[in-house]
Amino acid sequence: MTVVTDGQERAGDVRLGRVGRGVRVAVALVGIGLLINGSVRASDDAWPFGPMSQYAMSVPDDASITYTRISAQTDAGTTVDVPLNIEGAGVARAEIEARTGEIVKDPSLLQQVADGWAKKHPDKPKYVKLELIRDTTQLVKGRVVGPPTPAVLATWEVRR
Amino acid sequence: MSARTVATRAANWFTPAIAFARIAWLRTVLYLFVIVDMHAFVRDTRLKGEHPGLYQPLLLARMFDLPKPTVFNTTALYVVLIAACLVGASNYFPRIAGWIVAPAFTWWVLIGMSDGKVDHDHLALVIALWVLPTVKAGRRGRASYNDQARSESAGWVIRCVQICVIATYFLSAIAKLRSAGWALTWPGSAVLTWAIVRRPHPVGEWLLHHPWMLHVMQWVGITAEFLSPVILWLKGRWQLFGALFFLGFHAANTAILLIHFLPTVVCWLAFAPMERIVPWFQRRRASDSDAGEAEDQAEHGREAKEQAGA
Which of B12, B120, B197 is opposite residue A137, by nearest beta carbon?
Answer: B197
Which chain A residues are Cβ-neighbours of B116 within 8 angstroms? Answer: 94-95, 98-99
Q: Is the pLDDT of residue B26 over 90?
A: yes
Q: Determine which of A1, A13, A68, A81 to mutate to test the interface with B (most B C-beta atoms within 10 Å).
A: A13
- What is the bridge-based pairing of β-strands A79-81 and A64-74? antiparallel
Q: To the nearest whole angstrom, how far is the Cα of B148 from the nearest Cα of chain A?
A: 10
* Of A116, A113, A151, the residue nearest A130 (C-alpha): A113
Size of interface A-B (CB pairs under 8 A): 202
Tell me: the pLDDT tens digits for B71-90?
Answer: 999 999 999 999 999 999 99
Reported as a pLDDT band with limits 50, 70 and 90, residue B188 is very high
Q: Does B117 touch chain A (CB under 8 A)?
A: yes
CB contact under 8 Å between B54 and A143, yes or no, is no
Which chain A residues are Cβ-neighbours of B60 within 8 angstroms? Answer: 47
Give the model's pLDDT for residue B80: 98
Tell me: the pLDDT tens digits for B226-267?
Answer: 999 999 999 999 999 999 999 999 999 898 888 889 999 999
| Cα-Cα end-to-end distance for chain B | 23
Tell me: the pLDDT tens digits for B134-145?
Answer: 998 778 899 999
Can you tell me whether residue A37 is helix, strand or coil?
A: helix
Q: Is the pLDDT of residue A7 over 70?
A: no
Q: Is the pLDDT of residue B166 over 70?
A: yes
Give the model's pLDDT for residue B291: 54
CB contact under 8 Å between A21 and B195, yes or no, is no
Chain B CA closest to residue A135: B198
The mean pLDDT of chain B is 90
* H, E, C per residue of chain B: CCHHHHHHHHHHHHCCCEEHHHHHHHHHHHHHHHHHHHHHCCCCHHHHHHCHHHCCCCHHHHHCCCCCCCHHHHHHHHHHHHHHHHHHHCCCCHHHHHHHHHHHHHHHHHHHCCCCCCCCCCHHHHHHHHHHHHCCCCCCHHHHHHCCCEEHHHHHHHHHHHHHHHHHHHHHHHHHHHHCCCCCCHHHCCHHHHHHHHCCCHHHHHHCCCHHHHHHHHHHHHHHHHHHHHHHHCCHHHHHHHHHHHHHHHHHHHHHHCCCCHHHHHHHHHHCCHHHHHHHHHHHHHCCCCHHHHHHHHHHHHHHHCCCCC
Give the model's pLDDT for residue B247: 96
Q: Is the pLDDT of residue B101 over 80?
A: yes
The one-letter amino acid at A83:
P
What's the Cα-to-Cα distance from B181 to each of A40, A59, A152, B75, rounded to whole Å? 11, 13, 33, 43
- Assess contact for B117 and A93: CB atoms under 8 A: no
Give the model's pLDDT for residue B310: 45
The one-letter amino acid at B49:
G
Which chain B residues are Cβ-neighbours of A24 within 8 angstroms? Answer: 14-15, 134, 153, 156
Chain A CA closest to residue B50: A116
Which chain B residues are Cβ-neighbours of A95 within 8 angstroms? Answer: 54, 115-117
Q: How far apart are CA B86 and CA B103, in angstroms?
A: 16
Reported as a pLDDT band with limits 50, 70 and 90, residue A10 is low
Tell me: the pLDDT tens digits for B258-309?
Answer: 888 999 999 999 999 999 999 999 999 988 875 555 455 555 544 444 444 4
Q: Is omega for the bond preceding B279 within 30 degrees of 0, making it cis?
A: no
Q: Would you tell me which residues 287-306 of chain B have a C-beta closer than 8 angstroms to some C-beta of chain A?
A: 306
Q: Determine which of B6, B166, B174, B178 to mutate to test the interface with A (most A C-beta atoms within 10 Å).
A: B174
Q: Determine which of A6, A32, A115 to mutate to test the interface with B (most B C-beta atoms within 10 Å).
A: A6
Q: Is the pLDDT of residue A66 over 50?
A: yes
Give the model's pLDDT for residue B61: 94
Tell me: the pLDDT tens digits for B40-70?
Answer: 999 889 988 888 777 889 999 999 999 999 9
Q: How far apart are CA B139 and CA B141, in angstroms?
A: 7
Q: To the nearest whole angstrom, how far is the Cα of B192 from the nearest Cα of chain A?
A: 8
Tell me: the pLDDT tens digits for B110-120?
Answer: 999 988 788 89
- How large is the average pLDDT for residues A137-160? 90
Give the model's pLDDT for residue A14: 87
Q: How far apart are CA B10 and CA B5, in angstroms?
A: 8
Which chain B residues are Cβ-neighbours of A67 within 8 angstroms? Answer: 197-198
Give the model's pLDDT for residue B292: 53
Which of B138, B153, B208 is opposite residue A144, by nearest beta carbon?
Answer: B208
Give the model's pLDDT for residue B222: 96
Q: Out of A63-67, B103-107, B256-260, give the one with best mean pLDDT.
A: B103-107
Cα dihedral A85/A88/A90/A94 (nearest 10)? -20
Q: Is the pLDDT of residue B16 over 60?
A: yes
Give the model's pLDDT for residue B296: 52
Which chain B residues are Cβ-neighbours of A5 within 8 angstroms? Answer: 9, 12, 16-17
Tell me: the pLDDT tens digits for A30-42?
Answer: 999 999 999 999 9
What are the residues facing A140 on neighbouring strands?
A143
Which of A109-123, B87-101, B230-244 shows the lowest mean pLDDT across its residues? A109-123
Q: Is the pLDDT of residue A157 over 90?
A: yes
Give the model's pLDDT for residue B309: 44
Which of B152, B191, B197 is opposite residue A14, by nearest beta carbon?
Answer: B152
Phi/psi zone of residue B154: left (φ > 0), alpha (ψ -120 to 50 degrees), beta? Answer: alpha
* Of B261, B55, B239, the residue nearest B158 (C-alpha): B239
Which chain A residues are Cβ-neighbours of B8 within 8 angstroms? Answer: 3
CB contact under 8 Å between B309 and A7, yes or no, is yes
Which residues contact residue B254 at a Cβ distance below 8 angstroms, ignoring those fewer than 6 apart? B260
Which residues contact residue A39 at a Cβ distance below 8 angstroms, ignoring those fewer than 6 apart? A51, A52, B171, B174, B175, B178
